[in-house]
Structure 1
Amino acid sequence: MAARLIAAGYGLSVWNRTVAKTAPLAALGAEVVADKKAVAHCSTVFTMVSTTDDLKAILFAADGLLGTEARPQRIVDMSSISDAGSAEIRETLTASGVAYLSAPVSGNAKVAKAGKLLVVASGSKADYDAIQPLLGAMARAVTYVGEGERARVWKIAHNTMFGVMTQTLCEVTLLAEKAGIPRHLFLEAMNQSVLGSMFTRYKSPALVNLDFTTTFTPKLLLKDMELGLAAARAHGVVMPTASTARDGLLALSHQYPGDIDFSVLLVELARAAGMKLVPENVAVSDGLA
């Protein structure tokens, strides 16, 4: 995402908790800073971390971004965090004179590199209009959904569906395979049907070849589904299908707590069906070229 901003001609100062991750951006011309406070001079600061607590620490801890007299004009957070936590952050930033936009994304690192992210934003319309060109440089599409934390609710709903779709896609793929249809043939036809989507296409290579190189871990997807169910409780919405998928994901996160892709769910569901899977070693398009 940062590389796409550089390619679009924007000047960047970058900071990462893991310094080595900034090396490719330095090679592209970004200024790498050792102290996050050093980006406070930027008019717009983008943040993207794993949890609400991570974001609060980066912004408000003693060594945080706002621990200096310098203030960015606005902070745009692109993390997947709770709407309640985001509202607390908005309140604190507003009191500090810093505007705040929520702008979570749909898409993993490979999608981002291909320029096919979707960004959904909420907050002040004036601030959104000011940074829309920046968001547009990162993504294939950008949607403004209104004031406050509406973008957080959108992302929570999106990733809840993500968990449900993963469960369903793995289940039906195994059904077809146990009935004698090779995974690559089943998914090839599925991807050409009315039910095919960008999601089914880009997960097909992983399911066909059992390549579980990490794009999103079971633990992180579980976190997002928990946020989705919490939001459902808060708004009085019944979500029985999501609840069932969440329980399966909880078990998966215990089996695979580390750095592995959530699509490893296929292996666990196969074991429950008495199946032992092997990679098919077939080239499958992920639709991102």
Structure 2
Amino acid sequence: MPSIGTRDYDTVPATDVAFIGLGVMGFPMAGHLAKAGHRVTVYNRTAAKARQWAQEFGGRHAPTPREAAAGAQIVFMCVGNDDDLRSVTLGEDGALAGLQPGTLLVDHTTASADVARELHAAATARQVGFVDAPVSGGQAGAVNGVLTVMCGGSQADFDRVKPVAMAYARAFTLIGEAGAGQLAKMVNQICIAGLVQGLSEAIAFGQHAGLDMKLVLDVISKGAAQSWQMENRGYTMVDDKFDFGFAVDWMRKDLSLVLDEARRNGARVPVTALVDQFYADVQRLGGNRWDTSSLIKRLR
């Protein structure tokens, strides 16, 4: 696990917080909270990872989400999917059971808007606030504390969590009511899917034409074709390197959320549906854990 990047922390009063889920995103995010001076208790399904985090950052670890949440003013979560989220939130050992009225639950998982609304209702029934807050920026953004966070919930709950969450974010924005954060993250993934496919086709075309594609990228990145994907993934795509960043398996999980929501709300997303199938091709090539820029592999 890479060490978290160095950054300046604004002076925010120390808060008792819990962080549930210490994967490639959650581990450094919780670390930034500890480095910002907050009193952090962590929970992870694999207890060894929680012990490793506590040893590195000096916080506490707990054996269940409920025990991690006990005494916390804010509980942050970042797990895998809807079912994982329910398992750490609901039930006798879930985080909600450990929270007192007036506290706050913040979910950074990329999940469905339906589960966000479900958990919002469960939290409200216990007089606990809830904010769905999926993130963009990948592992590097988490390590360097510069994530973009899209939030759904009430203005009051958002205002309470933002000063604390800015320990690992460069942008933390309220989009709308419960579920709006997850819907905004779906918009983000639709954009990325189309951009990466276009970039893959452009690089493959240029290589077939015999062009020096790194030189071409230098030129066109100064013009209208410029994008984050081009500047951060274009050159590694030319070099056939895909061993970093956001994995294909994770992208397909996210795109399945997009396609389910589109079927529900009637939106037409034909390019997204096609790119999802292209990612299925990459999985068949053995690229489940390759970075999402590996779409170009199916064009070679």
Q: Does TM, normalized by the shorter one, top 0.5?
A: yes
Structure 1 residue 71: deviation in Å?
Answer: 6.6
Query: Which stretch shows the higher mean deviation, 254-263 or 133-142?
Result: 254-263
Aligned to 1:187: 217
Query: Partner of 1:49: helix, strand, or coil?
Result: coil
Contact 2:100 2:128 in 1 (8 A): no
Query: Partner of 1:12: helix, strand, or coil?
Result: strand
Q: Distance in 2 between matches of 1:116 and 1:181?
A: 35
Q: Distance in 1 between matches of 2:281 and 2:288?
A: 13
Aligned to 1:120: 150
Structure 1 residue 24: deviation in Å?
Answer: 4.2
Aligned to 2:256: 226
Q: Distance in 2 between matches of 1:72 and 1:174?
A: 55
Say whether residues 1:39 and 2:68 are aligned partners: yes
Overall identity of the aligned pairs, in %? 28
What amino acid does structure 2 have at the position aligned with 1:76? V
Q: Distance in 2 between matches of 1:108 and 1:218?
A: 13
Q: Distance in 2 between matches of 1:92 and 1:57?
A: 13
Superposed, 1:273-284 pairs within 5 Å as none
Say whether residues 1:261 and 2:259 are aligned partners: no
Say whether residues 1:5 and 2:33 are aligned partners: yes
Query: Which stretch shows the higher mean deviation, 103-112 or 243-252?
Result: 243-252
Q: Distance in 1 between matches of 2:206 and 2:235?
A: 16
Deviations 1:31-53 (A, max 9, x none): 22233222222110000111111
If the length of structure 1 is used for normalisation, what is the TM-score?
0.85
Query: Which stretch shows the higher mean deviation, 138-147 or 250-259?
Result: 250-259
For structure 2, the 5+ residue unaligned runs are: 1-28
Query: Partner of 2:167: helix, strand, or coil?
Result: helix
Q: Distance in 2 between matches of 1:241 and 1:29?
A: 47
Deviations 1:151-198 (A, max 9, x none): 111001111221121111111111111111233223333333232222
Structure 1 residue 110: deviation in Å?
Answer: 0.9
Q: Distance in 2 between matches of 1:87 and 1:7?
A: 32
CA RMSD of aligned residues (A): 2.1
Which structure is higher in strand share? Answer: 2
For structure 1, the 5+ residue unaligned runs are: 271-289
Number of residue pairs matched by the alignment: 270
Contact 1:225 1:246 in 2 (8 A): yes
What amino acid does structure 2 have at the position aligned with 1:193? G
Q: Distance in 2 between matches of 1:143 and 1:69?
A: 25
Say whether residues 1:53 and 2:64 are aligned partners: no
Contact 2:107 2:134 in 1 (8 A): yes
Deviations 1:211-243 (A, max 9, x none): 222422222111211211222222222222222
